[in-house]
Amino acid sequence: DAGITQSPRYKITETGRQVTLMCHQTWSHSYMFWYRQDLGHGLRLIYYSAAADITDKGEVPDGYVVSRSKTENFPLTLESATRSQTSVYFCASRLAGTDTQYFGPGTRLTVL
Amino acid sequence: DQQVKQNSPSLRVQEGRISILNCDYTNSMFDYFLWYKKYPAEGPTFLISISSIKDKNEDGRFTVFLNKSAKHLSLHIVPSQPGDSAVYFCAASKGSQGNLIFGKGTKLSVKP
């Protein structure tokens, strides 16, 4: 049972480059989420999705794009990476009608 | 403006003693609260939750207390074990399936 996975686990890129972080879950959870974790800020919601083809902005969506063509995948794209997007990114999923979000292991992204 | 506050960045406790982690919130619309635990290089994992219709919820060594009038909740761990050493995040939402707003986290260190 793979659960929820993220790839890559570590990524170094340069300012201005496009980067896509992948998230895959095997539970068929309808809800999926992207968070970033920064020192002094805890976890902040970037985007979420209630189902395939339904996405919505969270607290800090600027500079990010998401898509959800399949229930199991929820990629996060930084179209033109900036240094302020250096962070640890967590994907999470939740079964509709329940309260618990299940988190992936995270992707540590460094933008030089 | 931070809606969920964990004012203690760190806490050190002796093994066998009680650990008390505190959390305050400012938004009176929040009616569901959760605690997540996070080990280094892993994603957060759900620990315990409480609805605003209750003032206490217990699960083994973990108890969460909610004081609605003070907009304050606390997580008690008794007895504390070295394996409890982790970062603990408090989160709040409007409804059990609302989006989560996280605090900055408290790093708990339990010493043998």
In a mutagenesis test of the A interface, which of B99, B106, B107 is the best target, namely the one with the most A β-carbons within 10 Å? Answer: B99
Domain contains A58:
yes
Residue A6 in domain: no
Contact yes or no for B32 and A41 at CB 8 A: no
> Does A3 fall in a domain?
no
Looking at domain B4-111, its CATH architecture is: Sandwich (2.60)
From first to last of its 112 residues, chain A has per-residue pLDDT tens of: 569 999 999 999 999 999 999 999 999 999 999 999 998 888 999 999 999 999 999 999 999 999 999 999 999 999 999 999 999 999 999 999 888 999 999 999 999 9
Kindly state whether residue A2 falls inside one of the protein's structural domains. no
Number of domains in chain A: 1
Length of chain A: 112
- In-domain check, residue A17: yes
Q: What is the CATH number of the domain that holds A62?
A: 2.60.40.10
Give Cβ neighbours of residue B53 (< 8 Å, ≥ 6 apart): none
The structural domains of chain B, with segments of one domain joined by +, span 4-111
Question: Which structural domain, as residue segments, surrounds residue A71?
Answer: 11-111
A5 lies in some domain: no
Q: Nearest to residue A18, comparing CAs of A64, A59, A57, A58?
A: A64
